[in-house]
Structure 1
């Protein structure tokens, strides 16, 4: 087996192709070995994701039920209050979550009262001792710095797919816009959460190119979500077929080998996966899941918390206790 014990940021497309396309059992074995070299294999970080502002987004992301231009039946909701958000975060912590992520359906952050309210939410959740994460759309350098000063631990901004395929699914912003926001987040000293979605109609080459971009960043994202397309009625991608779970396993395993220290998050799509299918993802190197007390991941289905607890008991997994003292080093 090749030596994947070192951290690299110079992967070639050919190397990633060789890893990704190898026989699945060999790929999972290699990924599981790497996983055990860098992580406790029986620990999975439980994260809670809350939509603090739902729907009405001006973007045209073809997969998203919150885009205002699509008729998806999603109820638009204004920004929640700090009091309600902190109360939900406390319940999430009590249920075993160590990271709390707040999502707002915005194209970009604007310097207005809503952003001030988000900063207050970040402060309130941070005081609970949770890792605080936000996903709010595009950020400027100054906005990222203000979030960091408020106590933000992580920022999610997914690349979604390859640069080559990006314009097929989103036209209201560019791939470089995405990368610029990641640079601003990193420069502010906030940890980066960035991954993608499979099942958008992309090719295997697109998946490999996306992983190439992520794994060759100057510093790997601390978190890499791997999402299966959640097909939302009314969106342009609603009629695409369900993502085969083995495709999720292959993506997770390849991401684990390329970015050994990163948290690889088994994200959207779990509601359509059996316990057996999810267990293969954990074997392949996934060590994080998202939960929600509403049984939704933003506006798509997500497994019940009780079902996740039963799965953990069956597989011998336990919620990870994260050390927030780990320092994020800004890129100058």
Structure 2
């Protein structure tokens, strides 16, 4: 029996959750407006008017030995990526405080490389300890394929969320990276979850994968119980193997966001790279499935400032005040001090 989007919306509201093996073609065939409306209903029910804003700083850049085809920071490619070692403590903390004061909900240090280790890892721990004791913004980390011990030490400093994308489907992953495996990523995610960290994990669309790969990624994230799911649209970078990929149509990004909401109804679906491809820099998406966004003056958000995003929220009747109720309940609870 085929169900309409309206009927599927009611099923999800009543507790049904999509699983591997379900027929998901309706999400590809339904009119986009109809799909967005259903996603908006689910978002309103599970997330209320809340939008979660996170910010990031590139704490160590370039010279990465991994060969991810989309990434400007891989030493395997020839890009104009800026290269520098771990940033000074004072610079990172000043950035975090500025983002906190502007109203962001959480702050992440992101570093290049397979895994942060040695002196740089110790420096990161010191920065997190100081931020935890002096600021109230939620702390997130993104440092690659860490061990259980490293994740435990991060957690001890006050870090409550760990970011580690699965990037795409299991089938397509070997087409974008050969220096580590999809299972390496899953292992890290499970270790972070076992440690009690909220895991933020999503991926990139527009790398040459099929619509079925995108649906598969959504199901995989549901199986993992991910509470924060960033959706990046590939922004082809000169010098990378994907530099000549055609840019995605904004409607394809909107469709992806909408069906991710259906498949992961209680998670924060987070706008990330490629917001400029969307109508009004993502405003319509924030009413039709997306309940979170990366913000701030970073490449991933195309220079969108926190102040501009706050104005947009007010215009849309939304808020990032966490007392308004949130999606990604487990993450939101863990990110409060």
Equivalent residue for 1:229?
234
Equivalent residue for 1:195?
202
Equivalent residue for 2:3?
none
Equivalent residue for 2:120?
114
Equivalent residue for 2:162?
155
Partner SS state of residue 56, structure 2:
strand
1:76-91 equivalences under 5 Å are 76-91=83-98
CA contact (8 A) 1:270 1:302 kept: no
TM-score, scaled relative to structure 2: 0.89
Partner SS state of residue 25, structure 2:
helix
Match 1:40 to one of 26, 37, 48 = 48
Q: Distance in 2 between matches of 1:240 and 1:178?
A: 25
Q: Distance in 2 between matches of 1:207 and 1:185?
A: 24
The structure richer in helix per residue is 2
Q: Distance in 2 between matches of 1:93 and 1:264?
A: 21
Match 1:289 to one of 293, 309, 316 = 293
**How many corresponding residue pairs?**
320
Q: CA deviation at 1:303?
A: 2.3
1:224-263 equivalences under 5 Å are 224-263=229-268
Change (3 A) 1:141 1:302: same
Q: Which moved more, 1:59-68 or 1:265-274?
A: 265-274
Q: CA deviation at 1:202?
A: 0.6
Q: CA deviation at 1:23?
A: 2.4
Equivalent residue for 2:328?
none
Match 1:99 to one of 106, 117, 125 = 106
Q: CA deviation at 1:9?
A: 6.4
Equivalent residue for 1:67?
74
Q: CA deviation at 1:306?
A: 4.4
Residue 55 in structure 1 maps to residue 62 in structure 2: yes
Change (3 A) 1:325 1:49: closer
Q: CA deviation at 1:234?
A: 0.7
Runs of 5+ in structure 2 lacking a partner? 1-6, 326-330
Q: Distance in 2 between matches of 1:107 and 1:267?
A: 21
Equivalent residue for 1:135?
142
Q: Distance in 2 between matches of 1:189 and 1:7?
A: 25
CA contact (8 A) 2:202 2:230 kept: yes
Q: Which moved more, 1:22-31 or 1:164-173?
A: 22-31
Q: Deviations for 1:102-155, whole angstroms, at most 9, x for unmatched residues?
A: 100011232x11111111122222231111111111011111111111111111
CA contact (8 A) 1:268 1:302 kept: no
Q: CA deviation at 1:314?
A: 3.2
Q: Distance in 1 between matches of 2:242 and 2:308?
A: 28
Q: Deviations for 1:267-299, whole angstroms, at most 9, x for unmatched residues?
A: 101134341x61221122211111234x433xx
Residue 207 in structure 1 maps to residue 214 in structure 2: yes
CA contact (8 A) 1:20 1:27 kept: no
Runs of 5+ in structure 1 lacking a partner? none
Q: Distance in 1 between matches of 2:332 and 2:216?
A: 33
Change (3 A) 1:13 1:23: farther
Residue 17 in structure 1 maps to residue 18 in structure 2: no
Partner SS state of residue 196, structure 2:
coil
Partner SS state of residue 257, structure 2:
helix
Change (3 A) 1:54 1:153: same
The CA RMSD measured in Å over matched residues stands at: 2.1
Match 2:131 to one of 121, 125, 128 = 125
CA contact (8 A) 2:273 2:299 kept: no
